[in-house]
Amino acid sequence: MPLVMEETPGGNLQNAHYLAAASDLAYYNAPEGPQKFKDELGLDAKLFSVGNTQAYVATDDDHIVVAFRGTESPTSIEGLKDWLLTDANDFLIMPEGRNSTDFAAAGVGARFHKGFMTALADIWDSVYAATEEELKKKERPLWVTGHSLGGSLALLASWRFLRKTTDVYRVYTFGAPMVGNDTAVKAFDKELEGKVYRFVHGPDIVPKLPTVSLVANSYGHCLKEIHVGVVQAAAAAAESAHDFFSKLAAGAGEVIDKVRVDKIWERLMQGVSAHDITKYRAQIAEKMKENA
């Protein structure tokens, strides 16, 4: 029996369960992916893929869901190391190119992660056109979601939808890294107020990234964070990036050098299983049972 979703004020575990499933299914390629969207969620799904960026636009009579794929597997998260640690500072840029007009609206001091911005730019035109086509057929709530890198793309895409005057009903992300500096995320919080819900599985380390320094971090998160998992894990997740990385590399200088990056990354990978989308789905399902 397909999962269901409903329009309710604020965040909702039932909707989180549904959208975590959509974020999971976004990892599948055609023809398997569209069939899984139909079987599990009752959605007709179209796959869009450009380079390493992939997303589904999935619909039924009541909803439109845009689900972005994250890192393809726990092992391939290695490919994000430069984005999240080594070159994180270099990647924090002013809006540029095709992104410039939409993201410049976040404010003069807003800076965004170049890698995430480029990944979204690769696929944006196709996803936007498909979403607008569906909205012209019938007005329905637009839900945007994704896990890991997909969660970052979901947040950035929601801002672009907003700038195109396309209303976004809710944004649910799971284990998403940070997308920009404090100015940028404050603009997101203001313009998408009450719409963004970031789910974090306690021991997951990816939401603490990117980081550029062991003393301070230029990146920030939107405010609404929801922890899933045991209480101790939630407390660990709430630890600041500064404290976390200071413990990993005690006595290090302010800037994370490339030699130390490997050491830190090795330690981070010891807990990468907590980042798996299946863990998020299981923890949300467990929390639903507890609240039943």
State mean pLDDT over 234-238. 46
- Most confident range (mean pLDDT) of 187-191, 215-219, 259-263 is 187-191
pLDDT at position 1 is 54
Q: How far is CA 77 from CA 114, 141, 276, in A?
A: 18, 32, 11
Per-residue confidence (pLDDT) for residue 111, from 0 to 100? 92
CA distance 230 to 218: 29
As a whole number of angstroms, the distance between CA 186 and CA 192 comes to 10
What is the number of other CB atoms lying within 10 angstroms of the CB of residue 189? 17
The pLDDT value given to residue 272: 72
Between 251 and 138, name the one with better pLDDT. 138
Higher model confidence: residue 28 or residue 272? 28
pLDDT confidence bin for 257, thresholds 50/70/90: low
Residue-level pLDDT at 170: 96
Residue 93 pLDDT > 90 = no
Report the SS3 class of residue 114.
helix
Give mean pLDDT, residues 198-216.
76
With bands split at pLDDT 50, 70 and 90, how would you rate the model's confidence at 253?
very low
Per the CB < 8 A criterion, the answer to whether 86 and 261 are in contact is yes
Looking at residues 199-217, what average pLDDT do you find?
A: 75
> Is the pLDDT reported for residue 15 higher than 80?
yes
* C-alpha separations of 280 from 29, 32, 91, 165 in Å: 21, 22, 28, 32
**Residue 95 binned pLDDT confidence (cut-offs 50, 70, 90):** confident
User: Tens of pLDDT along 137-171?
Assistant: 999 999 999 999 999 999 999 999 999 999 999 99
CB 94, CB 165: distance < 8 Å: no
Percent above pLDDT 70 for the chain: 79
pLDDT surpasses 70 at 239? no
Q: Kindly tell me if the per-residue pLDDT of 82 is higher than 80.
A: no
With a cut of 70, say whether residue 188 has pLDDT above it: yes
* Mean pLDDT confidence for 261-282: 79
What is the rounded average pLDDT of the residues 117-146?
A: 96
Q: How many CB atoms lie within 10 A of CB 244?
A: 18
For strands 225-228 and 196-201, give the pairing: parallel
Lateral strand order in the sheet of 180-181: 92-93, 112-113, 180-181, 219-220
* Alpha carbon distance 35, 45 (integer Å): 8
C-alpha separations of 211 from 80, 116, 142 in Å: 12, 15, 31
- Output the pLDDT for position 275: 87
All domains of the chain in start order, with CATH: 13-291 (3.40.50.1820)
Query: Do the strands 219-220 and 170-174 form a parallel or antiparallel pair, or are they unpaired?
Result: unpaired
Q: Within 10 A of 26 (CB to CB), how many other CB atoms are there?
A: 28
Instruction: Answer whether 280's CB lies under 8 Å from 147's CB.
Output: yes
The arithmetic mean of pLDDT across residues 187-214, rounded, is: 85
| 157 vs 251, higher pLDDT | 157
Instruction: Count CB neighbours of 105 within 10 A.
Output: 13
Please determine, for residue 231, whether its predicted confidence score (pLDDT) is greater than 80: no
The mean of the pLDDT values for the chain is 84
Q: Residue 23 above 80 pLDDT?
A: yes
